[in-house]
Amino acid sequence: MPPQLKTLIPLFGAFIVLFLIARHFLVPVSFGELGHYRFNSIAENKEKAMNYAGKDACADCHDDKAAQLKSDVHSGLSCETCHGPGQAHTENPETVKLNKPDQRSFCGNCHSMNASRPKFMVQIELKEHNPDKKCIECHNPHQPWQLKE
């Protein structure tokens, strides 16, 4: 046996033993039980409080806005994308109010000029496009192509 192997074989064996010990402590107990994930995470996620109500819950009360949005480029977005989590609002609409974003920077999160965004997404230079106005002064976010008069 070559002298190099006399050194490498015990090192390789020690590496395997250390790997198995580390794996024992680092891999969760339920990992791989029913798939390539931690099975206990399902029960843990069920215990978390719901924050989002969904687009249909919004349409139950705000059918006029839902109808506007249905025919618009933003129709693929959930209401909660802009207005925030709405579960508490659906349960208590009188006291829990949702965000009504009116700052230019908010619309700029999606619409400011960025070369990595897809070409179909309208992009503007926030510093040049009506810099002294809020976006919602001219655009209805539920139908942004129809300018307000």
Tens-digit pLDDT profile for residues 112-147: 888 888 888 888 888 898 888 888 888 888 777 777
* Whole-Å CA distances, 42 to 32, 53, 122: 13, 20, 39
Let me know how many helices (H) and strands (E) the chain has, helices first: 8, 2
Q: What is the structure's pLDDT at 149?
A: 62
* Whole-Å CA distances, 104 to 13, 99, 124: 61, 14, 11
Please check the confidence at residue 20 and state whether its pLDDT lies above 90.
yes
The C-alpha atoms of residue 90 and residue 55 are separated, in whole angstroms, by 11
Mean pLDDT of the region 58-80: 85
Alpha-helix runs per DSSP H in the chain: 3-26, 40-47, 55-61, 63-70, 79-83, 87-91, 104-111, 135-138
How confident is the model over 33-67, as pLDDT tens digits?
A: 999 999 999 999 999 988 999 889 998 999 888 88
Mean pLDDT of the region 73-86: 87
Residue 74, classified by CB atoms within 10 Å of its CB into exposed (0-12), middle (13-18) or buried (19+), is middle
Torsion sign (Cα): 129, 132, 135, 136: negative
Mean pLDDT of the region 93-121: 87
The C-alpha atoms of residue 58 and residue 86 are separated, in whole angstroms, by 8
For the chain, the structural domain boundaries read 3-47, 51-98, 101-149
